[in-house]
Amino acid sequence: MLTKMEHYLVITDDIEGTKDFYCEALGMRVGFRPPLEFPGYWLYVGDTPCIHIAEWQTYTAHSHRQGIPVSTRAPGTGPFDHIAFNAEDFDGVRARLERYGVKPGVNVVTGAPLRQLFLTDPNGVKIEINVRDPRTSS
């Protein structure tokens, strides 16, 4: 039985820029990552490693040596549409993104206490941020 979602992997040619985006624009932090055979980072929200960033060429070579298939390069995310996070302080999150140069799309869910922000990371991964606040129900 599954107990929780732990992380998703972003493979990129720019691990530093991708790390900076998630840390600076979204407030994640770099945390423990075991000594794997390819460069990368584990980025945490609280105690959970939510995003694993790896460099394309070394990750692909490592995975092929292990007999593990690797996604092919493609724009966007194919059949995988987005990843969603919960957050607090809608205005604070939005301001942080805009300070980083990201202008997110905004959706207010009618009839629910939910406001959403939509954006893409530097690799084309769509991110949804959900902020629940009873004061926003309409």
Identify the structural domains of the chain with CATH numbers, from first to last.
Answer: 8-66 (3.10.180.10), 82-136 (3.10.180.10)
Instruction: Give me the pLDDT at residue 138, please.
Output: 52
Q: What is the spatial distance between Cα 106 and Cα 91, in angstroms, rounded to a whole number?
A: 11
Instruction: Give me the pLDDT at residue 136, please.
Output: 64
Neighbours of 108 (CB within 10 A): 12
pLDDT, tens digit (0-9, with 9 covering 90-100), for 102-116: 999 999 988 889 999
Q: Over range 50-76, report the average pLDDT.
A: 92
- Kindly tell me if the per-residue pLDDT of 79 is higher than 80: no
Write out the H or E segment, with its range, that includes residue 44: strand 40-45
- Using a pLDDT cut of 70, give the percent of the chain over it: 97
- Kindly tell me if the per-residue pLDDT of 101 is higher than 70: yes
Query: Exposed, middle or buried, 46 (CB in 10 Å: 0-12/13-18/19+)?
Result: exposed
Instruction: Give me the pLDDT at residue 69, please.
Output: 93
DSSP code, position 47? T
Instruction: Give me the pLDDT at residue 63, please.
Output: 95
Give strand pairing partners of 127.
83, 119
Q: Which pTM value belongs to this model?
A: 0.88
Q: In angstroms, what CA-CA distances link 41 with 26, 37, 51, 52, 67?
A: 15, 12, 8, 6, 22
Average pLDDT of the chain, as a whole number: 91
**Residue with the larger pLDDT of the pair 3 and 21:** 21
